[in-house]
Structure 1
Amino acid sequence: MDSPISSFLLFFAFSLPFVFGNSLDLFSSCSNLFNCGDITDVGFPFWGVGRPPECGNPALRLACEGNKATIVITEIKYQILKYSRQNNSQTLTIARTDYMGTLCPKKFINTTIDYNLFDAIPTSHNITLLYCSSSTVAGQFSCPGYNAGFIQVSPMGFSPCNMSVIVPVSMNFFPPVSDVVNSTEVLKAIEEGFEVRVKEDGGRCGICEQSHGVCGYDLNSNRTTCYCRAGNSIDNGACMNLQAGGAPSSPPGENRSNKTSLIIGLSIGGATVLGLCLGCFVFYTTQRNKKHVMKLKSKDLPSSPSSGGIPTPSTFHSSSIPSYPYSRSNIENGSSYFGAQVFTYAELEEATHNFDRSRELGDGGYGTVYFGTLKDGRTVAVKRLYENNYKRVEQFTNEVEILSKLQHPNLVKLYGCTSRQSRGLLLVYEYISNGTVADHLHGKQANSGLLTWSVRLKIAIETANALAYLHGKDIIHRDVKTNNILLDNNFKVKVADFGLSRLFPLDVTHVSTAPQGTPGYVDPEYYQCYQLTDKSDVYSFGVVLVELISSLPAVDVNRNRDDINLSNMAINRIHNQALADLVDPDLGFERDYAVRSMIKSVAELAYRCLQKTRDVRPSMDEVVEALRDLENEEVAARKAEVLIDLGSDNVRLLRNTSSLLSPESGPVTDKWVRNSIIPSS
């Protein structure tokens, strides 16, 4: 019989031994403990070297290199010097391998511990290592390329040095605070390491082990699971091998008990498979009938509105999202809101582990964002709006309405939301893993050296492209800032957060509305006149450009009074021909003519974007065109640099090319200077 039910029966008949076999294999594999040198008997939540990925948290992989145990935490490799386990508490003493025997690592990265994995232990203290390429004072140590190195044992203030790295050391080995700190003592303190304590999993592993199971990790649900002996089932995280009264069953080795358990397990498994087959057959038949009915109904439905029109907020229609597998909400609701999939509150609560604080990705003025994993395997960012009042409902509806109609590679994707009647307003976005531009410029990922000038120019172009696309759709973002520009692992831009955005009517030149946005980015004319236009986004983007060339935050109360607002600081520096005082020295402004020329051009463009009168500012299309010209200029400059290596015969050609790139004669710069109001030198 060639039917769906026969196919399911055949599939599960073949799958049954593999299911039980896989469980038995994982029980056996995860029973192995990690051993390397002095580090022995390490089990869950760690994996590696004989323990497959299903045995531990993906971020806690151990390796054995030269009889020394190592682990990588947030891109930094550590040697495990000591491991201890008392009851359910596991403590590691770890030391950075790049600081073993030297204070001069190949890459300057601050020590950051993932507190989703580890608890803070107040037994360590941070020291700061400063690396200066030039200094009038002799340093405490030196490194290649850095003439002077200094050690700070107190919190770091302002430093003229190029690089700084924060490294924790144990309080037991911490050098005494004095005017002069011995670099040998500091190096020894770093090599002695510091302690971290592994976060507990809420007791789930303990429950598993008490039932004679082995703890593992479910990579689909991102949580602790339990592997049992063949024939044992799992109930509430424990293996069902307890005798009446709760006493543990006989230890393994009693064949009679094992055989009985195996028979019971196979019987239950067979009944479960048969039930699944019947259920799948019923589901298949029901879905086929539904599709047939929908096809008939669709002939009588009116055609959908064109892409140019935006439906009214009351729009609520039935549809499906074909690009992803069905999740539970599709089956329960079968609905969408403005075309976005509607999730149940309970589904997103489960995806975020009940909105666990350890899963917080960010906390803004309108809500908290959590990391989550849907049942279909997608990793997502779930934004939970703070208050379910009229204003929040308006922002919620606004963001869904706008994002559900947009398709652009540099805009964050909205996967779905809860309904407006839900007990919490939740928005579900694609998860972007590499933080924000603000993080990399002056936040927790600053000083990594990853934001080279080429990467920053690429960020500016892609952000401008996204904003130009929005303006082409008659949408004003209204909250453009580096905290709303996300980056993936390839540093591709994803502009996010459309809660304040407005659909711009086609028949007016501006919208009158009370100013909203982030201090430091708000268009001053909008602030004064309450008139919102697409040029308001241009002003905010001008602030972003200045951040990209300076690595400074938009607002900093620790700066001089006239420089607290970065836009004012930039206008003054550019107007007074003091751009060098504004530019991040790590970009090579002083030593690379090509970079210097491009940064000057970007500064000129930012100057035009930051004009107080909106009519003087360029449009986003003009901004994109100018940045594209710069991108072409950079490609030409890099090609010209290669010519110098081809021999002395090409030096003349290189000089001719360089003349086009000099700070005084760049064609793009000249064009912008003529069109702007910057005073000529």
Structure 2
Amino acid sequence: MTGDGKKEGSGCKKAFPLDVVLGVCLGLVFILAMAIFYYYSRLQKRKLVQMRSVFFRQNGGWILQQRLASQGIDSTTRIFTEEELQKATENYSENRILGRGGYGTVYKGLLSNQQVVAIKRSKLIDESQVEQFINEITILSQINHRNVVRLLGCCLETQVPLLVYEFISNGTLFKHIHNQDFLPWEDRLRISKETAHAIAYLHSAASFPIIHRDIKSSNILLDEKYTAKVSDFGASRSVPFDCTHVTTLVQGTLGYLDPEYFHTSQLTEKSDVYSFGVVLAELITGQMPISFDRPEDLRNLETYFTSLVDEGRLVRAIEPHILKEAKLDELHFVAHLARRCLNVKGEDRPAMKEVALELEGLRKAVKKRANDRSITEREWFVQEIGSTSSLISEVSESSRQYSLDTELLSTIRHPR
């Protein structure tokens, strides 16, 4: 301040505009803080982009793009952001979990458009597992079939990859056979027919022939109308049209694994046929593919089932509810079809297309017979099914077994 400080005198005057300087300083501090904040935000955003790029590469994103381009696949698979899937699952809440497994966890999600989806969040994966993940996306990008689970999209920018599927509400066929309420015979026939058609499509009607390699009842899902949906293509393989087999490291599930593939490492379409035969045996008997309740030499369902069919003791293995509901000739037909699928040599097994057509024919014949009650079971079996060339010899060979089973079934259904 300057002046004498007296009212009568010169008073007090500011020697320097301190308020102006203070305002300028505060403004500079604010600008500097904003610049630092902006720089820090850009730095964090750049780090996030770099991290997502690293995750994308680690999760096989570049490999996926190259593979889709090399195979000429015009993929409609949607790429989801991490934020979208976090919101859809309430940040992966425990109450959204549909199931857990060796691959990771499946969550029920609700997208912003109110679509319900299933989100498979993998466990931490290494390079050896990336191939399976990318393989599943590549395979599903080629498939369009009503009995195959539809892949909606994926997210590769997270630490672990995520796949987004259509939501299938009624769980797995395995649970309905072994853990839940009784599954009617008519539904079992229809589900087996739908599954067979889906596998036949993979083998002959997809862009490239596809071998699923892990057909089992827990990989067959059921929607609200109990329509079958084949799922889990992580182990699947595409086969060039001019090849009959692919040599691979053996993968599959014990109890369903093709013994020929296990011993030779040569994967063929008949490996899926064998696994489907085990599923048919499950549907008929209601028994587990591997069970320690059976004698040691019969713990494998394939061994137990084929021995009963070959010895004419099929009725003893059939689930009691199925015995009361199904016609014996229908059971014999499906059992012998399953038995053919379970032949040790792949060349002795039917093609999946043949299996699907025979199951389709059986369902049509069952509906036809429902409108004609006058025909006997044996007459119907010969007229409707015996006309199939692959089963003519089996019809005559199984006559004694059929008669024995009929007598035993009569005792079960009408005890004295």
Q: TM-score range by the shorter chain?
A: 0.7 to 0.9
Displacement of 1:548 after TM fit? 0.8
Of 217, 237, 250, the match for 1:515:
250
Find the residue that maps to 2:372 and give its secondary structure: helix
| Distance (Å, rounded) in 2 between the aligned partners of 1:666 and 1:422 | 54
Find the residue that maps to 1:372 and give its secondary structure: strand
Displacement of 1:365 after TM fit? 2.4
Question: What do residues 325-351 of structure 1 show as CA deviations (whole Å, max 9, x unaligned)?
Answer: xxxxxxxxxxx9943111122321221
Question: What do residues 367-424 of structure 1 show as CA deviations (whole Å, max 9, x unaligned)?
Answer: 21111111111111111111231122111111111112211110111110012x5322
Structure 2 residue aligned with 1:315: 66
Displacement of 1:480 after TM fit? 0.5
Find the residue that maps to 2:200 and give its secondary structure: helix
Please tell me whether residue 584 in structure 1 is matched to residue 319 in structure 2. Answer: yes
Displacement of 1:359 after TM fit? 1.8
Query: How has the CA–CA distance of structure 1 residues 518 and 337 changed in structure 2, closer, same or farther, with 3 Å as cutoff?
Result: farther
Of 647, 659, 667, the match for 2:386:
667
Find the residue that maps to 2:321 and give its secondary structure: helix
Q: Is 2:168–2:223's contact at 8 Å kept on the other side of the alignment? A: yes
| Distance (Å, rounded) in 2 between the aligned partners of 1:621 and 1:587 | 26
| Distance (Å, rounded) in 2 between the aligned partners of 1:536 and 1:676 | 26
Which amino acid counterpart does residue 437 of structure 1 have in structure 2?
L
Q: Is 1:596–1:663's contact at 8 Å kept on the other side of the alignment? A: no
Structure 2 residue aligned with 1:430: 166
Q: Is 1:604–1:673's contact at 8 Å kept on the other side of the alignment? A: no
| Distance (Å, rounded) in 1 between the aligned partners of 2:396 and 2:270 | 18
Q: Which residues of structure 1 form unaligned runs of 5+?
A: 1-310, 319-335, 642-653
| Distance (Å, rounded) in 1 between the aligned partners of 2:321 and 2:197 | 26
Task: Name the stretch that deviates more: 658-667 or 421-430.
Answer: 658-667
Query: How has the CA–CA distance of structure 1 residues 671 and 501 changed in structure 2, closer, same or farther, with 3 Å as cutoff?
Result: closer
Query: How has the CA–CA distance of structure 1 residues 416 and 678 changed in structure 2, closer, same or farther, with 3 Å as cutoff?
Result: farther
Structure 1 residue aligned with 2:197: 465
Q: Is 2:178–2:286's contact at 8 Å kept on the other side of the alignment? A: yes
Please tell me whether residue 401 in structure 1 is matched to residue 138 in structure 2. Answer: yes
Structure 2 residue aligned with 1:493: 228
| Distance (Å, rounded) in 1 between the aligned partners of 2:68 and 2:280 | 41
Higher relative contact order (CA 8 A, sep 6+): 2
Question: What do residues 59-92 of structure 1 show as CA deviations (whole Å, max 9, x unaligned)?
Answer: xxxxxxxxxxxxxxxxxxxxxxxxxxxxxxxxxx
Correspondence 1:1-16 to 2 at 5 A: none
Find the residue that maps to 1:405 and give its secondary structure: coil
| Distance (Å, rounded) in 2 between the aligned partners of 1:337 and 1:385 | 25
Query: How has the CA–CA distance of structure 1 residues 377 and 528 changed in structure 2, closer, same or farther, with 3 Å as cutoff?
Result: same
Find the residue that maps to 2:379 and give its secondary structure: helix
Q: Is 2:362–2:385's contact at 8 Å kept on the other side of the alignment? A: no
Structure 2 residue aligned with 1:369: 106
Structure 2 residue aligned with 1:534: 269
Correspondence 1:66-215 to 2 at 5 A: none
Q: Is 1:510–1:532's contact at 8 Å kept on the other side of the alignment? A: yes
Q: Which residues of structure 2 form unaligned runs of 5+?
A: 1-61, 401-416
Structure 1 residue aligned with 2:46: none
| Distance (Å, rounded) in 2 between the aligned partners of 1:392 and 1:666 | 45
Question: What do residues 108-134 of structure 1 show as CA deviations (whole Å, max 9, x unaligned)?
Answer: xxxxxxxxxxxxxxxxxxxxxxxxxxx
Structure 1 residue aligned with 2:81: 344
Query: How has the CA–CA distance of structure 1 residues 380 and 341 changed in structure 2, closer, same or farther, with 3 Å as cutoff?
Result: same
Find the residue that maps to 1:429 and give its secondary structure: strand
| Distance (Å, rounded) in 1 between the aligned partners of 2:67 and 2:262 | 35
Structure 2 residue aligned with 1:484: 219
Please tell me whether residue 613 in structure 1 is matched to residue 349 in structure 2. Answer: no
Displacement of 1:588 after TM fit? 3.1
Larger radius of gyration: 2
| Distance (Å, rounded) in 2 between the aligned partners of 1:345 and 1:452 | 42
Query: How has the CA–CA distance of structure 1 residues 658 and 577 changed in structure 2, closer, same or farther, with 3 Å as cutoff?
Result: closer
Of 280, 285, 289, the match for 1:550:
285
Question: What do residues 619-656 of structure 1 show as CA deviations (whole Å, max 9, x unaligned)?
Answer: 01100111111112211221123xxxxxxxxxxxx1x4
Query: How has the CA–CA distance of structure 1 residues 525 and 372 changed in structure 2, closer, same or farther, with 3 Å as cutoff?
Result: same
| Distance (Å, rounded) in 2 between the aligned partners of 1:516 and 1:403 | 19
Q: Is 2:192–2:280's contact at 8 Å kept on the other side of the alignment? A: yes
| Distance (Å, rounded) in 1 between the aligned partners of 2:384 and 2:313 | 18
Of 381, 389, 399, the match for 2:126:
389
| Distance (Å, rounded) in 2 between the aligned partners of 1:396 and 1:412 | 16
Structure 1 residue aligned with 2:371: 639
Question: What is the TM-score with the length of structure 2 in the denominator?
Answer: 0.75
| Distance (Å, rounded) in 1 between the aligned partners of 2:376 and 2:214 | 40
Q: Is 2:274–2:343's contact at 8 Å kept on the other side of the alignment? A: yes
| Distance (Å, rounded) in 2 between the aligned partners of 1:524 and 1:680 | 30
| Distance (Å, rounded) in 1 between the aligned partners of 2:365 and 2:272 | 26
| Distance (Å, rounded) in 1 between the aligned partners of 2:266 and 2:396 | 24
Find the residue that maps to 1:567 and give its secondary structure: helix
| Distance (Å, rounded) in 2 between the aligned partners of 1:475 and 1:317 | 15
Structure 2 residue aligned with 1:439: 175
Query: How has the CA–CA distance of structure 1 residues 315 and 677 changed in structure 2, closer, same or farther, with 3 Å as cutoff?
Result: farther
Displacement of 1:556 after TM fit? 1.6
Q: Is 2:365–2:384's contact at 8 Å kept on the other side of the alignment? A: no
Q: Is 2:68–2:138's contact at 8 Å kept on the other side of the alignment? A: no
Which amino acid counterpart does residue 412 of structure 1 have in structure 2?
V
Q: Is 1:554–1:566's contact at 8 Å kept on the other side of the alignment? A: yes
Task: Name the stretch that deviates more: 578-587 or 338-347.
Answer: 338-347
CA RMSD in angstroms, aligned pairs only: 2.7
| Distance (Å, rounded) in 1 between the aligned partners of 2:386 and 2:398 | 17
Question: What do residues 554-587 of structure 1 show as CA deviations (whole Å, max 9, x unaligned)?
Answer: 1122322122111111111101101011111101
Displacement of 1:678 after TM fit? 7.1
Structure 2 residue aligned with 1:418: 155
Query: How has the CA–CA distance of structure 1 residues 467 and 617 changed in structure 2, closer, same or farther, with 3 Å as cutoff?
Result: same
| Distance (Å, rounded) in 2 between the aligned partners of 1:583 and 1:542 | 15
Q: Is 2:386–2:392's contact at 8 Å kept on the other side of the alignment? A: no
Compare the two structures and name the one with the higher helix fraction. 2
Please tell me whether residue 525 in structure 1 is matched to residue 260 in structure 2. Answer: yes
Structure 1 residue aligned with 2:328: 596
| Distance (Å, rounded) in 2 between the aligned partners of 1:623 and 1:630 | 11
Displacement of 1:679 after TM fit? 7.4
Query: How has the CA–CA distance of structure 1 residues 384 and 432 changed in structure 2, closer, same or farther, with 3 Å as cutoff?
Result: same
Find the residue that maps to 2:152 and give its secondary structure: strand
Q: Percent of pairs identical after alignment?
A: 41
Find the residue that maps to 1:313 and give its secondary structure: helix
| Distance (Å, rounded) in 2 between the aligned partners of 1:621 and 1:666 | 17
Displacement of 1:353 after TM fit? 1.8
Displacement of 1:659 after TM fit? 4.6
Q: Is 1:468–1:620's contact at 8 Å kept on the other side of the alignment? A: yes
| Distance (Å, rounded) in 2 between the aligned partners of 1:614 and 1:677 | 24
| Distance (Å, rounded) in 1 between the aligned partners of 2:120 and 2:230 | 15
Query: How has the CA–CA distance of structure 1 residues 412 and 678 changed in structure 2, closer, same or farther, with 3 Å as cutoff?
Result: farther
Q: Is 1:575–1:678's contact at 8 Å kept on the other side of the alignment? A: no
Task: Name the stretch that deviates more: 339-348 or 396-405.
Answer: 339-348
| Distance (Å, rounded) in 1 between the aligned partners of 2:290 and 2:263 | 19
Correspondence 1:264-279 to 2 at 5 A: none
